[in-house]
Amino acid sequence: MGWISPFKLNQLGMLNMNRRNVDYIARYNSRSSYPLVDNKLKTKLVVAEYNVRTPRLLQVVRQQHEISHFREMAEDLDGFAIKPAKGSGGKGITVITGRDGDEYVKASGSRVSASFLERHLSNILAGLYSLAGTPDVAIVENLVESIPALAKYSFQGVPDIRIVVFQGYPVMAMLRLATTASDGKANLHQGAVGVGLNIANGQSLNSVQFNRPITLHPDTGLALENLVIDNWQEMLVMASRCYEATGLGYMGVDLVVDAREGPLLLELNARPGLAIQMANGRGLLPRLRQIEALRRPHFTPEERAAFAMATFTSQT
């Protein structure tokens, strides 16, 4: 690994962390909207009003004594996900894909006991994974089963689609595929593969893992070049709608495509990462500036998605 000159980065329009924080997050994201995205439970409720669907909520564990109900509820379930409502960066999310006798099978294939999950719930309530260490609630959601077309690329975990939405316009997107290194999680800094997606048509562009370009998925060995996301426009509109729901000017929208229910919103992020630029092989800045320069913004999510598809082709 070598170094790249800051002038070259500037030329590429790479958004960097300091500029993202000062010029975009601090300017376009109002503090009062943060709880909406930092708390997954609130996100679920607020986006539902805007016809954005999320995985079905099975249980909310708010108090220590409610943990005992969890075992009864989980008895009948095959797969579910336990999430801290205020968790960040995928921390504290445990995905159970099935049962093996009394034990639960994690997405990684390892087996855990019910008491492990109860301890995990207790940790979540105590605030171990919450942003400021404050007490939290745990939510138990229906397990998302990805459509086979996408699931085959991912190792174990569910692939998700991150779309950066700026002032309601989807500006950049990538597909995130779990790997062995990422322990079934779709987080890029944990080793997941990021595949840049063309906003215009949902086709794959470049792929990166650990910030390095790759062409094949390291575990499944599948070529990532000619991948296409179905229902692309619908997903862009869905992401665009989250702007109305939360009022956040600069955010990351994480979507999954469920085999039975179609596209679902997994979570929103008020501080989306920068790695999406590497997966796309281009910087965010020119696109963000283009939106900032718009004299007459579009009012409906459909119009904005259409504008983005027309404007942000792979060449720009």
Partner 1 sequence: MTNRSRIPFFFAILLLIAAGISIAIWRHVELGIPWFTGEQKPVWMVEARVDFDGTGRPVLASLNIPDQPPGFRIISEQAASPGYGFSIVEESGDRRAEWSKRDVNGPQTLYFKVQLVPDDTALGSIPKRRPKPEPVFWEEPQATAVEELLQQAAERSSTPESMTRELIKLLQPDGGAQNTTLLVSEANYIDLLTRMLNHAGIPARTADGLSLEDARRRQQLRPFLQIYDGSRWLTFNPRTAEQGLPEHVLLWRQAAVSLLDLVGGDNSDVSFSMLRQTVPALQLAQAQSNENGLGFLSLYQLPIEEQSMFRMLLLLPLGALVVAFMRIVVGIRTSGTFMPILIAVAFVQTTLIPGLIAFISVVAIGLLMRGYLSSLNLLLVSRISALIILVIFITAGLSIAGYQMGFNTGMTVTFFPMVIIAWTIERMSILWEEEGAREVFIQGAGSLFVAVCAFLIMSTPLASHLTFNFPELHFVVLGLIFLMGQYTGYKLSELRRFYPMKVYN
Residues that bind partner 1 (CB under 8 A): 1-6, 8-9, 11-12, 14, 16-19, 22-23, 64, 91, 115, 119, 122-123, 126-128, 190, 206, 208, 211-213, 277-278, 281-283
Comparison of 194 and 202: residue with beta carbon closer to partner 1: 194
DSSP helix, strand, coil percent of the chain (3-state; round to 5): 35, 25, 40
Decide: 201 and 228 in contact? Cβ < 8 Å. yes
Least distance from partner 1 to the Cβ atom of residue 2, Å? 6
Smallest separation (angstroms) from partner 1 to the CB of 205: 10
Contact 142, 172 (CB under 8 A): no
- 114: DSSP letter: H
The CA distance from 68 to 213, in Å, is 46
> What are the backbone angles phi and psi of residue 200, rounded to the nearest 5°?
-65, -35
Residue 316 CB, shortest distance to partner 1, in Å, is 13
Residue 206: half-sphere exposure toward Cβ, Cα within 13 Å? 16
- Count of CB atoms situated within 10 Å of the CB of 108: 17
Of 194 and 252, the one with the shorter C-beta distance to partner 1 is 194
Q: Give least dist CB 10 to partner 1, A.
A: 8
Q: Output 64 or 110, the one with its CB closest to partner 1.
A: 64
In the complex, what is the shortest distance from the CB of residue 118 to partner 1, in angstroms, rounded to a whole number? 8
| Identity of the residue, 212 or 296, whose beta carbon is nearer to partner 1 in the bound complex | 212
**C-beta closer to partner 1: residue 52 or 285:** 285
Residue 5, judged by CB atoms within 10 A of its CB (0-12, 13-18, 19+), counts as exposed
